[in-house]
Amino acid sequence: ITSNPVISTVVSSPSHLASLPHFDRPTYLMCPPQFYDVNYVINPWMAGNLHRPSRDAAFAQWNNLHQHLQRISDVRLLQARPNLPDMVFVAHSALVQHGVAAVSSFAHPQRQAEEQYLRRWFQTAGFLVWETPRETAFEGEGDALFNATGDHLWAAHGVRTCRQSHRHVADAWHTPVTSLHLVDPRFYHLDTCFAPLSGGHLLYFPAAFDGPSLAKIEAAYPVDKRIAVTETEATHFVCNLINTGKNIIMGTAGTDLATRLTKLGYEVAELDLSEFLRGGGSAKALALRLSDTTVTNALPIS
């Protein structure tokens, strides 16, 4: 059941399904920070940071993240383009599952020119591209995250992504979707304040959501699975983490959060990603998941 019968026919056609890319190992897409900078202000973190990132420091931090991620997954690279300083935050360009890529329609014109390069990359790599309408902004993994088992989509609205896009995006996989309302402009994307983890836990910053949204979150995650972070941790963008199997890569928390996560069975690497905080992003924003959620979340066999 879908609002888009034409594309749904394509998705459910066995010959197309067979030819869509599938990854047996956790796989991500990254885009190097050749042209990374803060050239405009489209989130509160960028204010006061205009042209402040050091490209050398950004490259060193990005390389470190790339190396860490390569130890636990395959990493594909997308070519950076001049005049697109936010292209390094590739996670917001699409949401991917089962070889289908729902490509973003960015809310701000400053990022819209990134879309064509992503669309082309996905087409060349054999993905089925699910278009999203310009009128209803959608910002990929920034605002849409699957639960650990990949059968439920959480999607946010209130700042960037339009609520009207949620059902359309979820229709790409015929998945149920729950809409959450973001109310704090500092946490302008869902992936800045909400991170479903492979062990069924949820790391989140409660004050970023309105009351009805919190009720939905608490109904889905029992209290022993919810890990609420403090405001200090949230503003260090700890929720913007990469989780592959039991591994977690996150920016420096400045607290004992890594120890708390280790006690729950995760292996945590804290990296300095301070140059990217100036642009409003951290680890997760710098890597787009290409492998299915179940493959990405599976614990290593040995």
Binding segment (CB under 6 A) for ligand ARG, from list 15-23, 41-49, 95-103, 150-158: 41-49
Burial status of residue 252 (CB atoms within 10 A of its CB: 0-12, 13-18, 19 or more): middle
Of 117, 89, 259, nearest to 188 (Cα)? 89
Among 32, 142, 158, 196, indicate the residue that binds ligand ARG (CB under 6 A): 142
Nearer to ligand ARG, 8 or 110 (CB): 110
**Residue 281, helix vs strand vs coil:** coil
Of 253, 260, 157, 263, nearest to 213 (Cα)? 157
Among 189, 201, 236, 246, indicate the residue that binds ligand ARG (CB under 6 A): 189
Residue 216 parent element (H or E): helix 211-220
Q: The tokens 């089925």 sit on which residue? A: 128
Nearer to ligand ARG, 43 or 247 (CB): 43
Binding segment (CB under 6 A) for ligand ARG, from list 7-15, 42-50, 144-152, 241-249: 42-50
Among 11, 23, 53, 86, indicate the residue that binds ligand ARG (CB under 6 A): 86
Among 61, 132, 165, 192, indicate the residue that binds ligand ARG (CB under 6 A): 192
Strand order in the sheet with 288-289: 74-77, 27-30, 288-289
Among 42, 58, 75, 148, indicate the residue that binds ligand ARG (CB under 6 A): 42
Beta bridge partners of 128: 100
> If binding is defined by CB under 6 A, does position 243 make contact with ligand ARG?
no
Residues of this chain that bind ligand ARG (CB under 6 A) = 42-43, 46, 86, 89, 92, 111, 142, 189, 191-192, 240, 279-282, 285
